[in-house]
Amino acid sequence: MIHPLDLRQTPYSCRGSYLALSFLNENHHGYGNAASLHLRTLHNSTITPLIARLTLHCAGEPCMPASLLEDAALRLENGGKVLECCFANDRTLLFRGGPGCSLTLDFLTENGPYDYIYPLLHEGRTLYMANCYKNNCQYLIVPQHGDCELDQQWEESSSLWSRLTFSGDAGFRFALLEIETEWDQVLPEEDFDAARARTDADFRTFRSAFPALPEACRAMGDLAVYVDWSCLVRPDGFLRREGMLMSKNWMNNVWSWDHCFNALALADCHPEIAWDAYIIMADHQDVSGRLPDSISSQHVIWNYCKPPIHGWALRRLMAHMTLSPRQLEEAYDFLSRWTLWWMNFRRRDGLYYYNHGNDSGWDNATAFSLLPPIATPELQAFMIVQMEMLSDLARRLNRTEDAQRWQSEADHHLEVFLARCFRDDLPVAIQLSTGQIVENESLLPYEILVLGERLPARVREKVISLVGSEKFFTAHGFATESPASPFYRDDGYWRGPIWAPSTLLMIDGLEKCGAAELAQEAARRFVDMAAANGFAENYDALTGKGLRDLAYTWTASVALVLARDYLA
């Protein structure tokens, strides 16, 4: 695979690694940085994620190179001058510069105290250790070929600046190792080409397992697979198994519904990774059954939760992979505890509710324009789907009484839902403290389509007609707030932009409700938008422009799922 890689949009990294290279604009997220290529850490226990600024010089002048992804290696080129990067392993990044260019690593000592570089003599060679207190880490730099010059001003307990410049008439090579505790005294391999071949092969093996996509989707699919592969990180801290971060830009956590969409993309090609992606939140499930809002290597956040789509996701997952008896047991325990938490702690007067828009995943949607708690229609639908999934799991595990009990709960709640959450055959959100209907033009309530034929025909027909009209369906897909709404904003987060999860949930629901042509057209529009604009966190509903984090895994994963399941 050879693909242009816009480092402003998509970081360069590899499976397992917490290191990433990105081009950052000036004062990115208030870090005070210059506009340049930066090496960053994804460990989020840091003062700043910025490790070093990289400046490539061609003929003595700083230059902005074009970047190309060649399988799992990065090639930067300007005016015939070339810098290549590849990972030897998930902690070691190798650099190779061609004749006539040089590279400076500025370790940004002004960003925090106690940062400096000290030389190490090892087996007759001079190495350099960058002690980066700001990153809660150290980085060992091993010159391998060419010249290496240290420019540093020490003052009391820190260096005012610490820079390493690499050059050479015949080019240069060096390695950079992430050292979290102590260096094991083992030097990285010298052979750049061998390391590159090994990592390229790992990526190609990962990619080759994915099903063939329609020809028009293949370039998009290749980049989507790279985004997902490169956002996998090794177990570390609170991440007790290999996990897929939502991004290696700045959304570098695992959230408690995002992970489901990533699992779906991997189900038929990498079932072991898919299972870890799906069940990862169970590692931190509270004794009450609650799931955290998000996890990372350093943090578990509990202020919010996320919607109970896990039963819905498991149903789709099992359509593409076979669960072992152990996995069935694990899934049943996880889902039953999660469902009981909602029943015990988030149900009032027979309706399930959110305490904040963040709990729904639709943080600022107009369905939450009144003070929560809010009982939204799609939450009732997700709970019914999840109870039915639990009934199915119980039958598979020969737990007949449990199967009957969960199905009875699902049937009862369907009756409550249909009786209380509709006005003129359309779903409505309710403010529980007053019983007031929350007037809104959000797409959120219409995710009830995931119930399929369990919805009355008149409801299905009315909702399908509405969401398939210009009220929500733009040239690029389903707007999360009607463009005709006074609250619509082009970059309004959940008040307008198109998102991957809502798109897949709507398409799944449309298919279950018999609207297969509309489902396929929505899939085509989303995939075309992703192919043209990358895998953004969300998109301008009217132009298709990518917004916010521009290399988001659930977007890449949903694009792969839609191309596989609806366009192939």
On whether the CB atoms of residues 55 and 65 are closer than 8 A, the answer is: no
Asked if residue 77 has pLDDT above 80, the reply is yes
Residue that terminates a domain, selected from 201, 230, 247:
201
Asked if residue 273 has pLDDT above 80, the reply is yes
Provide, rounded to the nearest whole percent, the portion of the chain with pLDDT above 90: 89
pLDDT score at 61:
61
Residue (of 531, 499, 536, 448) closest to 257 by Cα position: 499
Domain co-membership, 184 together with 216: no
For residues 352-362, average pLDDT: 98
pLDDT tens by residue, 188-217: 888 999 999 999 999 999 999 999 999 999
Domain co-membership, 216 together with 365: yes
Asked if residue 59 has pLDDT above 80, the reply is no
Residue that terminates a domain, selected from 145, 167, 201:
201
Domain co-membership, 178 together with 290: no
Angle at which helices 500-512 and 258-266 cross, to 10°: 60
Mean pLDDT (the chain, rounded): 95
For residue 174, what are the β-bridge partners? Answer: 95, 143
**Greatest CA span in the chain, whole angstroms?**
82
Domain co-membership, 447 together with 523: yes
pLDDT score at 30:
85
DSSP string across 356-379: SHHHHT-TT-GGGSSPSPEE-HHH
On whether the CB atoms of residues 131 and 183 are closer than 8 A, the answer is: no
Residue that terminates a domain, selected from 173, 201, 229:
201
What is the phi/psi pair of residue 530, to 5°?
-65, -40
Domain co-membership, 342 together with 441: yes
Based on its alpha-carbon atoms, the radius of gyration of the chain, rounded to whole angstroms, reads 25
Asked if residue 404 has pLDDT above 90, the reply is yes
Domain co-membership, 273 together with 360: yes
Q: Cα dihedral sign for 212, 214, 219, 223?
A: negative
For residues 42-55, average pLDDT: 89
Domain co-membership, 151 together with 258: no
Q: Which own/partner pairs from 525-528 qualify as long-range (CB within 8 Å, at least 24 positions apart)?
A: 525/475, 525/476, 525/477, 526/476, 526/477, 526/498, 526/500, 526/558, 526/559, 526/562, 527/217, 527/220, 527/559, 527/562, 527/563, 527/567, 528/476
On whether the CB atoms of residues 189 and 88 are closer than 8 A, the answer is: yes
pLDDT tens by residue, 502-557: 999 999 999 999 999 999 999 999 999 999 999 999 999 999 999 999 999 999 99
pLDDT tens by residue, 315-350: 999 999 999 999 999 999 999 999 999 999 999 999
| CATH code of the domain in which 241 resides | 1.50.10.10
DSSP string across 323-347: PPHHHHHHHHHHHHHHHHHHHHHSE
What is the phi/psi pair of residue 138, to 5°?
-125, 155
Asked if residue 63 has pLDDT above 70, the reply is no
Domain co-membership, 222 together with 127: no
Domain co-membership, 442 together with 381: yes
Helices of type H across 351-447: 357-360, 377-396, 400-420
Domain co-membership, 501 together with 413: yes
pLDDT tens by residue, 254-271: 999 999 999 999 999 999
How do strand 50-58 and strand 92-97 relate by DSSP bridges? unpaired
Q: Give the total number of structural domains in the chain.
A: 2
Token pair in block for residue 387:
């109870």
pLDDT score at 97:
94
For 535, counting Cβ atoms within 10 Å of its Cβ (0-12 exposed, 13-18 middle, 19+ buried), the class is buried
For residue 36, what are the β-bridge partners? Answer: 24
Separation between Cα atoms, residue 358 and residue 387, nearest integer Å: 23
For residues 208-233, average pLDDT: 95
Local confidence band at 112 (pLDDT 50, 70, 90 cut-offs): confident
**Is the peptide bond prior to 373 cis by the omega test (within 30 degrees of 0)?**
yes
Separation between Cα atoms, residue 533 and residue 513, nearest integer Å: 30
Domain co-membership, 220 together with 344: yes
Local confidence band at 446 (pLDDT 50, 70, 90 cut-offs): very high
pLDDT score at 32:
87
Separation between Cα atoms, residue 207 and residue 382, nearest integer Å: 32
On whether the CB atoms of residues 153 and 108 are closer than 8 A, the answer is: no
Domain co-membership, 237 together with 162: no
pLDDT tens by residue, 31-41: 888 889 999 99
What is the phi/psi pair of residue 8, to 5°?
-70, -25
Asked if residue 62 has pLDDT above 70, the reply is no
| CATH code of the domain in which 153 resides | 2.70.98
Token pair in block for residue 290:
């609650």
Q: Rounded to an integer, what is the distance from CA 381 to the centroid of its chain?
A: 25
* Domain interval for residue 120: 2-201
On whether the CB atoms of residues 390 and 336 are closer than 8 A, the answer is: yes
Provide, rounded to the nearest whole percent, the portion of the chain with pLDDT above 70: 99
pTM of the model: 0.96
